[in-house]
Structure 1
Amino acid sequence: MTAQPPDQDRIAQLEAKVAELSSRDGGLSGRLTKLLKLMPWLMASHFLIGAPALLISLGVAYATFVQAEATKKMQQADAWPFVSYGTSNVDEKGERVISLVLNNNGVGPAMLGPVEIRYRGQPVRDPRELLTKCCGLQANSGLNLSTSPASGIVARPGESVKFMQVAETPANKALWNRFEKERWKLQVRSCYCSIFDECWTIEGSQAKPKPVAQCPTDWSQFRER
């Protein structure tokens, strides 16, 4: 038997090693191929297992949101103010007094904002300017006038804020009679807010409150001075 040269022995050993590695790689590739084929099914099974828990979590979150909104609306309803403007010519004692009034007929406090009064389309700044334009107020008219703030204060539920009152006296009877007629020509609008910072404006004695984001800042505000 003729011995093979050393170089041929090395070549034969290398060929045997390559064959062994090839067989091993083939087995690994096969396992990877099978795993890739099973991957969609594995993902689907995980989804099916997790879907009910996800749906339950979403349902609980939605129910919590709905309950929170319902609670908020109930709280707002329990603190809802409803302010209206009115005027009268007789006080609680039956005496002849013309009053301009803001009434809170709601169930919650009202934070009163600006008030604007116009006479014949022109804004008036205070009670004396109003009586001068509408009724010819003179220095010697014997005016019996009382005022109170109509903005920047809180009106309790059921409270009436009489922000301008003119009592009849013998000295101002003529002016009082004119104001009795002209008071119906006043254009009065007001703004008020709830404790939740919800705001509304009203205009006139039978006005339906109009929701606004905040009280206007461009009104010619009527002040009590």
Structure 2
Amino acid sequence: MEEHGHQHAHLPHRTGHSWLDISLAVSAFFVSLSSLWLTLHNARTMERLVAANSYPNVDISVGNQFDFQDGRGVRHALYLSLLNTGIGPARLRSVELSFAGRPAATVRALLAICCTQEPESSLPNTSHWSSGDLRGFMLQAGKDLALFAWPDAPGDPRWARLDAARKNDKIGVRVCYCSVFDECYLHDSAYREPRRIGACPTPAVAYVGG
């Protein structure tokens, strides 16, 4: 005669005390919940750490001593440049240049607004260096980028007027840039530090160099 073993269903282990069973179940639930919270918290911490290690910080520099890298060393020259003092690259989205709140798309337009009082035909033919359109340019950490530079021009009255405008903080610059994680910042020369924004706006008049 064959004997068939009886199969028994495995039931959850119980202590025999309902209040203790409930307490253990609640404790297990909170332990699981705490583990989930710690996992999410650690993930967010890692995200912030990665973002911090890729943080760009674009500063605006204006001065009257510049090295044109032509072998002549630092010279008396007006310049405007951007410097990434952060630890991650910055993708430039827009640059704006203005005089007393009036926008200028080029250096020539800036000079016309701020510094030209004579008929243009009477002005000497002086030259300045300027960048092109910088939208989309990736500025690496620790690197600088000149927007324009103009060597001392004693025969051109606009040079001294532009220098005076610089000293009186009449030259305005706004630059909007983003990190590699598309975290965007807007730095206005009227303020000491950049501020975080959702996305870079399209300026009414963008600086395009020239």
- Would you call these one fold, judging by a TM-score over 0.5? yes
Relative to its length, the structure with more helix (as a share) is: 1
Residue 86 (structure 1) aligns with: 61
Letter of the 1:207 partner, please give it: R
Unaligned runs of 5+ in 1: 1-40
Aligned-residue Cα RMSD (Å) equals 2.4
Distance in 2 (CA, whole Å) between partners of 1:85 and 1:188 is 8
**Per-residue deviation at 1:85?**
0.9
TM-score where L is the length of structure 1: 0.73
Superposition map of 1:1-225 within 5 A: 47-92=22-67, 93-136=73-116, 138=120, 140-148=123-131, 149-169=133-153, 172-183=155-166, 184-204=169-189, 207-225=192-210
Unaligned runs of 5+ in 2: 1-15, 68-72
**Per-residue deviation at 1:197?**
1.2
- The one-character-per-residue Cα deviations of 1:109-139 (angstroms, maximum 9, x if unpaired) are 1111211122122111211111112121835
Matched residues, number: 184
Letter of the 1:179 partner, please give it: L
Percent of aligned pairs with the same amino acid: 26
Residue 15 (structure 1) aligns with: none
Secondary structure class of the residue paired with 2:147: strand
Letter of the 2:128 partner, please give it: L
Task: Tell me which structure has the larger Cα radius of gyration.
Answer: 1
TM-score where L is the length of structure 2: 0.78
8 A contact 1:141–1:175 mirrored in 2 = no
